[in-house]
Every structure is written in structure tokens, then in C-alpha cells.
Amino acid sequence: MIPSSINSSDSRAAGAPSIADMQEAVSALLANGKGILAADESLPSIDRLFALHHIESTEENRRMYRTLLFSSPELGRRISGVILFEETLRQRMNDGTPVPMYLRRCGMVPGIKVDRGLLPFTGMDGEQRTEGLGGLLERLEEYRRSGARFTKWRSVLRVGNGLPSDACIRENAVGLASFALWSQEAGLVPLVEPEVLMDGDHSLEECEAGTTRVLKGVFAALAERGVNLQRLILKTGMVVSGRTCLNQASDLLVTEATLRCLGRSVPAAVPGIVFLSGGQGEVEATRRLDGICRANTGPWKLTFSFGRALQSTAMRVWGGRQENIAAAQQALLLRADWNGLATEGRYSTLMERERLGSLPSRKH
């Protein structure tokens, strides 16, 4: 069983939900020069990623991998919070410390993915809705007692060929709004994630138009439900060309389209926007983050909440082998450092080139 009280601040989090706790979590998550590590891959997702590197996806291997990431020396200098999968919230570090307690001791806010994945959105062409509202109120209480201070719910929308439909935007927006309201009532800061997929050959313009409609729909639903915008964080994608679009937009156009889209759809009351990487390469995601953060004149804090774009090299270097742990940690720290610099507009791809020779490599 999960201990009901973890340390002094965890015991406070486990008491009555407090607005001060939520405000403290928002400030910590949006601290300057830091971003959020998304390590909340569901079982099918982590199975797929491990399979790419011939790593068996057992509960112990998943624990070893995630705890390797979290124990990277001084990770908290660049990582403000970590999104966990439910299994990881209940796991322990090698010395027996519960994962949420360990993260807090290292200055990182523990969070949890609370949605239960995607289902087809009936009648619509390949569109999906997110499930997980059933029993959520009870689960939120338990997550808070276990030390989580923020929550995440991911909706997925497709762009191109007339998508996303208004019906699918509405369905997912209402789900996100319910999740956000219930999280705040439980004293947890919601990370509201409507992800517009990069899959497809849509243009940058189509991505911008689709993302703008989605975000407007989400903020309309949040307003209807009376969600407090100052106590939530938006997690969204950068506005980019579809993965198979022949005319890939330049970084400058991505920056302009992303900031224009956010400016038209995200209220100023929202304290922060964190970007997912969505299948962009590690370098590409960092480079674009840097461009967007340099050009941002909007009212919100902007930073990263990457999954694959923080972990890809680290997972490959680890490869499931004990002897590669230090090298994998070094890869994660470098990536986190470069992304932290990007949030301050201080990253350059030259940094990657300078490190090329000394980059961590995998022992076979």
C-alpha cells in the first residue's frame, strides 16, 4: 500500500485541499529555466518504446528505467515536475523511498496522468475521445494522499480533411473541463492537454486553424464549468506542418504560427503553457522551443513538458543494461539542460555539435 503521509509537505498536501498548495505547485512547475518531464507513458506506449530497443517491458524494468531517470544527479536544476503513470506513483526507488517522496526531496513536483486512454468517437472519421471520468473523484483523493500535486488529462485531435469536427472538439473539451474542475476541487493543479496530432499531410496553416479551434473550444468549456484559469497549466503542441506534408514550415514560421494561435485562443489569466514534443526529434523540439520562447511577448510563462524529446537518447543508451545507467542519465541531463536554456532563449545547436565527440554512448 502507498503510505498515506510522505513528509511534512506531503502530509499538508494530504490534508484539506488548499488554494495555497495549488498556487505553490503552479509557481514551482513554472519556475524559470525549468520544464516538466513527461514520464507517464501508459503500458501500451512504454511497451512499444521498449520494444524499439529490445527491452522487455516488465514491471521491474519499467521501475528501473523510471527510477534511473529520476535519480539523474541534480535533475531538479532543470526539471520542475514529473508526470507519472499510476504504476510508478506506487513504486519505490532502489533504497525503498516512495517515488513521489523522492521527487519532492529532489525539488521536483510529482504529478499523475489520470485519464484512462483513448476510445473511438462514434460516427466520426478516425476521431477519438478520452475516457476516465468514471471513479475519477475517488482516484483524485487517493493520488493526493500518495503525494501527487498535479494531474494530467490528454485528449487527442486530428487535423486535415475537414477534421477536427466540431462535435469531437466539444466532446473532448467537456471532458477536459470536468477533469480540470474535479482536480482543482481535490487540491490538484490540472495540466490540460488537448494534443493536435502531427500525423498527416496537413499544412502549417491547417494545423494553426485546427489548433486555434480546439483551444477556443477548450477555454469555452473551462469557462462554462467555472474552472479557475489561474490554477491550471495548458499543455499543447507547437503549430507545425503535418509529419508527411511535403512543404515543411521553417522554424520561423512555426514560431509565428504558434504564438499567433496562442494569442488568439489562450486567456491571459492562464499562468503557463507547456509544450509537448509530439514526435518531433529531440534537437528539432529544443530548437523550436528556443525560437518560440525568444519571440514570446505574451502574458504566459512558456516551457516544455516533453516525453519522447527528453527521453529518446536516454532510453536508447540505457538499453535495459545496468552498465549504461550513468551514460543514460548523462544523456537526459544534457537534454534537460539544453531545453532549460531554450526556455530562456539561450540555446544554440552549436552546443550539440560541441558535445558530439563526448556524448554518452551505449555499451553492448
Residues identified as active-site: 193, 235
Instruction: Quickly tell me which residue has 468517437 as its cell.
Output: 121
Shortest Å, Cβ 179 to ligand 5MM = 13
Q: Select from 14-22, 240-248, 305-313, 337-345 the region that touches ligand 5MM (CB under 6 A).
A: 305-313
Distance CA 301, CA 322 (A): 38
Q: Which of residues 209-248 bind ligand 5MM (CB under 6 A)?
A: none
Under rule CB under 6 A, residue 45 binds ligand 5MM: yes
By C-beta, is 113 or 145 nearer to ligand 5MM? 113
Under rule CB under 6 A, residue 288 binds ligand 5MM: no
Which residue of 13, 276, 302, 314 would you call a contact of ligand 5MM, by CB under 6 A?
276
Under rule CB under 6 A, residue 307 binds ligand 5MM: yes
Beta carbons within 8 Å of 45's beta carbon, 6+ residues apart: none
Which residue of 40, 171, 282, 290 would you call a contact of ligand 5MM, by CB under 6 A?
40
Sheet strands side by side (includes 301-304) = 35-39, 79-84, 109-113, 150-157, 189-196, 233-236, 272-275, 301-304
- Whole-number Cα distances in Å, 363 to 66, 324, 331, 332, 353: 19, 6, 14, 17, 22
- Whole-number Cα distances in Å, 86 to 112, 113, 140, 192: 7, 7, 11, 18
Under rule CB under 6 A, residue 139 binds ligand 5MM: no
Q: Which of residues 150-179 bind ligand 5MM (CB under 6 A)?
A: 154
Which residue of 309, 315, 327, 333 would you call a contact of ligand 5MM, by CB under 6 A?
309
Q: Crossing angle, helix 43-52 and helix 59-70, to 10 degrees?
A: 80
Which of 316, 322, 321, 320 lies closest to 360, judged by CA? 316
Shortest Å, Cβ 260 to ligand 5MM = 22
Q: Select from 33-41, 132-140, 262-270, 313-321 the region that touches ligand 5MM (CB under 6 A).
A: 33-41
Q: Please count the other Cβ atoms lying within 10 Å of the Cβ belonging to residue 61.
A: 14
DSSP 8-class letter at 237? -
Cell of 306: 516533453
Distance CA 240, CA 237 (A): 8
By C-beta, is 41 or 171 nearer to ligand 5MM? 41
By C-beta, is 17 or 279 nearer to ligand 5MM? 279
Contact mark string toward ligand 5MM, 93..122, x via CB under 6 A: --------------------x---x-----
Distance CA 99, CA 86 (A): 11
Which residue of 187, 278, 291, 360 would you call a contact of ligand 5MM, by CB under 6 A?
278
Shortest Å, Cβ 77 to ligand 5MM = 20
Q: Are strands 128-130 and 118-120 parallel, antiparallel or unpaired?
A: antiparallel
Under rule CB under 6 A, residue 145 binds ligand 5MM: no
Round the CA-based radius of gyration of the chain to a whole number and report it. 19
Shortest Å, Cβ 151 to ligand 5MM = 12
Under rule CB under 6 A, residue 41 binds ligand 5MM: yes
Which residue of 38, 140, 273, 292 would you call a contact of ligand 5MM, by CB under 6 A?
38
Under rule CB under 6 A, residue 79 binds ligand 5MM: no
Distance CA 348, CA 342 (A): 8
Q: Which residues bind ligand 5MM (CB under 6 A)?
A: 38, 40-42, 45, 83, 113, 117, 154, 195, 276-278, 306-309
